Structure 1
Amino acid sequence: MMDYKEALKIWEHEFGDKEYSYDFTGKKIKRSDYLVKNQVGWVVTYLKPLELGGETNLSNTIIMHHRTFEDRGMQYPQVIIDNRVYNIHHCEKDDYYYIERELDESDNDGIIL
């Protein structure tokens, strides 16, 4: 894992100077709780795991709640966490990764009923 100073640079890049934010699954995280295993602790990791050929560059880097990280394991490119399905995509043209959550029957896709 990277040191605290490096991790904070990534936090600032992603979230600015906010003290709290949320990871892609909606779990709340706190800036000062890097590598702390509590309700708001977080880690910096890679969307495409290094063990599966991912690279150690900013375009492959993501901040996750420590429980999201543990639940994810080596899942790639499809990730299932808290009964939700997420797909990790790579944009080759601009060389970055992004995550999309699959909608399920409980999602209304923005439609007001």
Structure 2
Amino acid sequence: MKNMDKAQALTIWQKEIGNKEYTHDFAGRKIKQSDYLESNQVGWLVSYLHPLNQGGKNNDGNIIIMHHRTAEEKGEQFPDFSANNRQYHIEYNRKDDYYYVERVMDSDDDDEESLI
């Protein structure tokens, strides 16, 4: 987790999410703007995608907002991890120097989507 005060975290929220009071992180968990660092149903934090102790950079291209449970499940895992019963892979965009998360789809996911 990136250590920052609430004002810094809310600046990142505004940049990434805008004025929404609620949104969902990439794993589908609901988060609330005012619940930064709260360990409740909608609490969130700012975390590194590529952990610093594994060569990740301390910059804006390596941070992401996520639910506190998602962050606990991800931990220091990189580039593959599981959160909210789904598999994810972290990719790096070298040209623009940022990391992003992609959900790893399996054949069952394709079948479910075709039924909807």
Bigger shift: residues 35-44 or 80-89: 80-89
Q: TM-score, normalised by structure 2?
A: 0.90
Partner of 2:67: 65
For 1:47-103, what per-residue CA distance to the aligned partner results, in whole angstroms no more than 9, with x for missing partners? Answer: 101111111111111001001111111110001123311000111111111111011
Residue range with higher mean Cα deviation, 26-35 or 85-94: 85-94
Counterpart mapping for 1:76-91 below 5 A: 76-91=78-93
Cα distance in 2 for residues equivalent to 1:90 and 1:43: 21
Matched, 1:15 2:17: yes
SS at match of 1:18: coil
Question: Matched residue pairs, number?
Answer: 113
- Say which structure is richer in helix: 2
Query: For residues 21-66 of structure 1, what are the alpha-carbon distances to aligned partners after superposition, in whole Å with 9 as ceiling and x for unaligned?
Result: 1111000000000000000000001110111111111111100100
Equivalent AA in structure 2 for residue 4 of structure 1: K
Matched residue, 1:107: 109
AA in 2 matched with 1:19: E
Which amino acid in 2 is paired with 1:103? M
Q: Percent identity?
A: 54
Q: Specify the SS of the correspondent of 2:108.
A: coil
SS of aligned partner of 2:110: coil
Residues 71 and 5 (structure 1), Cα distance of their counterparts in 2 relative to 1, 3 Å cut: same
Unpaired runs of 5+ in structure 1? Answer: none
Unmatched tracts of structure 2, length 5 or more? none
Aligned CA RMSD, in angstroms, stands at: 1.5
1:98 counterpart letter in structure 2: Y
